Amino acid sequence: MNYRFFSFSILIVVLVSSFGFAQVSICSWNLMNFGKSKSDTELEFIASTLNKFDVVAIQEVVAGNGGAQAVARLVDELNRKGSHWDYAISDPTTSDNPSSVERYAFVWKPSKVKKIGDSWLEQHLQKEIDREPYMSTFEYEGKSFTIATFHAVPKKKNPESEIKLFQSIPSYYPKLNIFFMGDFNCPQSNSAFTPLKNEGYQTSLMNQKTSLRQKCREDDCLASEYDNMFYNYKKNKVLQSGVLPFYNAFPTLKEARQISDHIPIWTTFQIE
């Protein structure tokens, strides 16, 4: 596979005073069958794409075939970019369908954020959700936040039935400032998100497609609005958000899809 040189430059402009607030940049990326099939060249590309962020939530780490090892290899690549990184990998999810079982991962810069306690697969809704969320609490400049990363069942398997259950998770952890993020296989406008929105949650992206088509239609290479971040607007503020159209680095969409069939999403949050 041939790659053109590609790098991302992210300019974050903060127009408000940062006094008394913590600002943290978070990325979420479904890396599609992330395991031993990823080459060293592909891992270097992924690391170059993610290097600018403080914390990254990764979905679709394969349960077998070197998934955990691929995360470790990715962190090795990140450590060559000038900053030290650490990582946590979930146990396999508890789906009754062996083909649905996956892992999740977090990678982060310890110089920017401190991980608090152990990460965990959310067990309260384990029987109702095929791939239960993976959760971890971090601290940034004295402010703590918890990320729940999630990969919903495919559209044909009714992801709405899982998403509707998310409203109950904050009640299990009333002291935590929870961010929900990942691949929901469902647009944020879907009524399945209404219960969560009624709990004070908003999305950092609106009307933004994030999954790749099989083939571009002229300049339109994105198919569906599946990936997003949900945050409690009473506790947090979005300073800037966006996506990384990494596929522009490749001669063809087929080559880009060797990296993933989703693009990364990111948000810089102000945590109050």
Segment 28-39, tens digit of pLDDT: 999 999 999 999
User: How do strand 201-203 and strand 178-183 relate by DSSP bridges?
Assistant: unpaired
| pTM for the model | 0.92
Integer CA distances (angstroms), 144 to 48, 57, 180, in order: 27, 16, 15
Q: Name the percent of the chain lying above pLDDT 70.
A: 93
Confidence of residue 270 (pLDDT cuts 50, 70, 90): very high
User: What is the sign of the dihedral through the CA atoms of 247, 253, 259 and 261?
Assistant: positive
Q: Are 206 and 243 in contact (CB under 8 A)?
A: no
List the 201-203 sheet strands across, edge first.
114-121, 134-140, 143-151, 178-183, 227-232, 201-203
Task: State the pLDDT at residue 32.
Answer: 97
pLDDT in tens, 185-235: 999 999 999 999 999 999 999 999 999 999 999 889 999 999 999 999 999
Task: State the pLDDT at residue 171.
Answer: 96
Confidence of residue 140 (pLDDT cuts 50, 70, 90): very high
Confidence of residue 20 (pLDDT cuts 50, 70, 90): low
- Enter the DSSP assignment of 141: T
Residues counted in the chain = 272
In this predicted structure, the answer to whether residue 10 has a pLDDT above a threshold of 90 is no
Task: State the pLDDT at residue 155.
Answer: 95
Alpha-carbon distance 107 to 124, whole Å?
A: 25
Query: Smallest Cα–Cα separation from 99: which of 130, 121, 129, 66?
Result: 130
Q: Is 50 exposed, middle or buried (0-12, 13-18, 19+ CB in 10 A)?
A: buried
Residue with tokens 């039935």: 161
In this predicted structure, the answer to whether residue 118 has a pLDDT above a threshold of 70 is yes
pLDDT in tens, 48-105: 999 999 999 999 999 988 999 999 999 999 999 999 999 999 999 998 888 899 999 9
